Amino acid sequence: MWRVVETDFLVIGSGLAGLTFSLNAADPFQVIVITAGKINECNSYRAQGGIAVPQDLEGDLRSHLEDTLRAGAGLSERKAVEALLRGGWEALRFLEGVGVPFDRNPEGDYSLGREGAHSRNRILHVGGDRTGKGVMEKMMAAVLSHPKIEVLEETRALDLVLRKGRVIGAVVQAAGKDPFLLLAKGVILATGGIGHLYPYTTNEKGIAGEGMGMAYRAGALLRDMEFIQFHPTALKADESPLPLISEAVRGEGALLLNDRGERFMLQVDERGELASRDIVARAIHREMKEGREVFLDARSVRLFSERFPSITRNLSQHGIHPAHELIPVVPVVHYAMGGVYTDLDGRSSLQGLYAVGEVGSTGVHGANRLASNSLLEAVVFGIRAAKRAREDLLTGSAKRLSFGELSLPYSPKELRSASEKADQSVMEEAKRVMWENVGLERDEKGLRNAKEILRLLQKRLPPLPTPVGHSITTALLIVEGALMRRESRGSHYRSDFPGQEKEAYHLYQGGNHESLMDRKRIASFSN
């Protein structure tokens, strides 16, 4: 027998996008937020650099738009980027409304940082490099004190529940308990990215693409899965996740040197250390492949410990003092540009299912995300999705939705035992395969090898929906996309196809169609 809980909106994930949605959708509606760990265990909380916001609605908006499109390597959707940037000031007002104290200079203006591929300083930050913590603590306080929002920690979604093609809830499980049914008039995926599909990542532990795999299983359309961003500078250390050394450090003048003391970035791109992330990450990777170590030289950065207090603390825990020592760095997995395809209001291709934040693909990031655009996307599209979902609930088909009888192809006991049996060693093997074959440089042979092994790993899992199973599905979607994209573009580099095709195209997967190379655009879909 299934225990059933009903609500208006079920939000899966407690990062900035999920909480923004919740605060904007609640009241009179009831929202339940579930999160696999504690509420603060998300990538948003770990964000350092900041939130990029155009400083005016003319010159800087145009320049921010151009920077975003250029970084996206022909695949960012102009309309999505315009919606992102035009929503910037509303997003800022919303964050300040919940009490986020953005850093200001002595004149009282926002203190603005710079990161790779931005042509101007436009990145707002909090507490120097504690932007994520500064933003999320205020957001969490607002959510936890909201009378219409309930947060269930250590509770994860195992499967989406559909009736007649509409998503009407999820099967969820609190740690160590039997799964139950959480039915909702709108289900919002906000599960973040894919970092822990790889052994080396900046991502919060446990973030391994489950949301994307679960959406695929339900029949949602996904897009651009092959584009995985590596952050050029994580601290070279023996731990997981690896400590991030924000790009803002390079924005303040830090240089990249190899172990011969050469500033190699100038030979690669005229923007040097502030070239776009894909270019810097690949240049470091090549230095390493040729046997050279790479370091960040931040000795010239003034007031380092004041501007970057949390990086200073992390470095000192590793015995490194950036004022007079070089920082050893490595590029590691940081962000997924693709995900569950959505329109500009967060609606997926499945009725009743919305996706916000990194799990979604609004079209903003294209083949390579511009630094610090993701927190902005989380807020702007979180607000837009909430407005749309409220409207859908007041006037759309969700208004008349009643849940009635449901029959599921498994029992709570069967599902619990499947989750318990899903072997963690499968994940460890999958991570190794992804790192070795689906990293910064890919080729046909490696990708085919990865596909074959991932398929074998899939067979070792119970044939029921489990978090590990969803992660392996997502890994396969990344591999499939990478195999089909026989060109190099943005973060996707094929050593066997180093050139870029003339026409930029998206790759879609799922939606009851397998990877559709020829479906370069979706003509339309209604929800």
What are the residue numbers of the active site?
277
Stretch that binds ligand SIN, among 13-21, 86-94, 142-150, 369-377 (CB under 6 A): 369-377
Would you say 224 and 506 are in contact if contact means Cβ atoms under 8 Å apart? yes
Instruction: State in angstroms the smallest separation of the CB of 419 from ligand SIN.
Output: 31
* Residues 114-153: x where in contact with ligand SIN by CB under 6 A, - otherwise, as a string: -x--------------------------------------
Among 372, 419, 474, 491, binds ligand SIN (CB under 6 A): 372
Residue nearest to ligand SIN (CB): 49
Among 36, 371, 376, 450, binds ligand SIN (CB under 6 A): 371
User: Which helix (DSSP H) or strand (DSSP E) does residue 149 occupy?
Assistant: strand 149-152
Would you say 8 and 393 are in contact if contact means Cβ atoms under 8 Å apart? yes
Stretch that binds ligand SIN, among 267-275, 370-378, 382-390, 440-448 (CB under 6 A): 370-378
What distance in Å separates the CA atoms of residue 338 and residue 368, rounded to the nearest whole number?
10
Choice between 69 and 162, CB closer to ligand SIN: 69
- Which structure tokens are listed for 57? 């609605």
Residues contacting ligand SIN: total by CB under 6 A: 9
Q: Note whether 43 binds ligand SIN by CB under 6 A.
A: no
What distance in Å separates the CA atoms of residue 37 and residue 174, rounded to the nearest whole number?
10
Q: How far is CA 260 from CA 277, 294, 306, in A?
A: 23, 9, 30
Q: What one-character DSSP code corresponds to residue 388?
A: H
Q: Note whether 374 binds ligand SIN by CB under 6 A.
A: yes
Would you say 481 and 490 are in contact if contact means Cβ atoms under 8 Å apart? no
Q: Note whether 248 binds ligand SIN by CB under 6 A.
A: yes
Stretch that binds ligand SIN, among 11-19, 99-107, 241-249, 337-345 (CB under 6 A): 241-249
Among 246, 351, 362, 491, binds ligand SIN (CB under 6 A): 246
Q: What is the dihedral of CA 209, 211, 216, 218, to 10 degrees?
A: 160
Stretch that binds ligand SIN, among 14-22, 240-248, 325-333, 483-491 (CB under 6 A): 240-248
Using the Cα atoms of residue 36, residue 37, residue 39 and residue 44 in order, give the sign of their dihedral: negative
Instruction: State in angstroms the smallest separation of the CB of 453 from ligand SIN.
Output: 30
Choice between 358 and 441, CB closer to ligand SIN: 358
Q: Note whether 44 binds ligand SIN by CB under 6 A.
A: no
Choice between 274 and 385, CB closer to ligand SIN: 274
**3-state SS class at 7:** strand
Choice between 124 and 422, CB closer to ligand SIN: 124
- Which structure tokens are listed for 401? 């939705």
Amino acid identity of 418? A
Q: What is the dihedral of CA 208, 117, 489, 244, to 10 degrees?
A: -30
Nearest to 387 by CA among 25, 84, 77, 118: 25
Amino acid identity of 51? I
Instruction: State in angstroms the smallest separation of the CB of 202 from ligand SIN.
Output: 8
Q: Note whether 247 binds ligand SIN by CB under 6 A.
A: yes
Stretch that binds ligand SIN, among 204-212, 371-379, 382-390, 503-511 (CB under 6 A): 371-379
Stretch that binds ligand SIN, among 96-104, 138-146, 368-376, 511-519 (CB under 6 A): 368-376
What distance in Å separates the CA atoms of residue 362 and residue 293, rounded to the nearest whole number?
37
Q: Note whether 329 binds ligand SIN by CB under 6 A.
A: no
Among 13, 15, 18, 49, binds ligand SIN (CB under 6 A): 49
What value does the CA radius of gyration of the chain take, rounded to a whole number of Å?
22
Would you say 276 and 370 are in contact if contact means Cβ atoms under 8 Å apart? yes
User: Residue 52, by phi and psi: left (phi above 0), alpha (psi -120 to 50) or beta?
Assistant: beta
Q: Note whether 48 binds ligand SIN by CB under 6 A.
A: yes
Q: Note whether 192 binds ligand SIN by CB under 6 A.
A: no
Instruction: State in angstroms the smallest separation of the CB of 476 from ligand SIN.
Output: 26
Instruction: State in angstroms the smallest separation of the CB of 232 from ligand SIN.
Output: 9
Would you say 49 and 168 are in contact if contact means Cβ atoms under 8 Å apart? no
Choice between 186 and 241, CB closer to ligand SIN: 241
What distance in Å separates the CA atoms of residue 127 and residue 135, rounded to the nearest whole number?
10
* Residues 461-490: x where in contact with ligand SIN by CB under 6 A, - otherwise, as a string: ------------------------------
Choice between 131 and 473, CB closer to ligand SIN: 131
Instruction: State in angstroms the smallest separation of the CB of 521 from ligand SIN.
Output: 27
Instruction: State in angstroms the smallest separation of the CB of 462 from ligand SIN.
Output: 35
What distance in Å separates the CA atoms of residue 441 and residue 455, rounded to the nearest whole number?
21
Would you say 33 and 205 are in contact if contact means Cβ atoms under 8 Å apart? no
What distance in Å separates the CA atoms of residue 7 and residue 352, rounded to the nearest whole number?
13
- Which structure tokens are listed for 38? 């504690």
Binding site for ligand SIN (CB under 6 A): 48-49, 115, 246-248, 371-372, 374
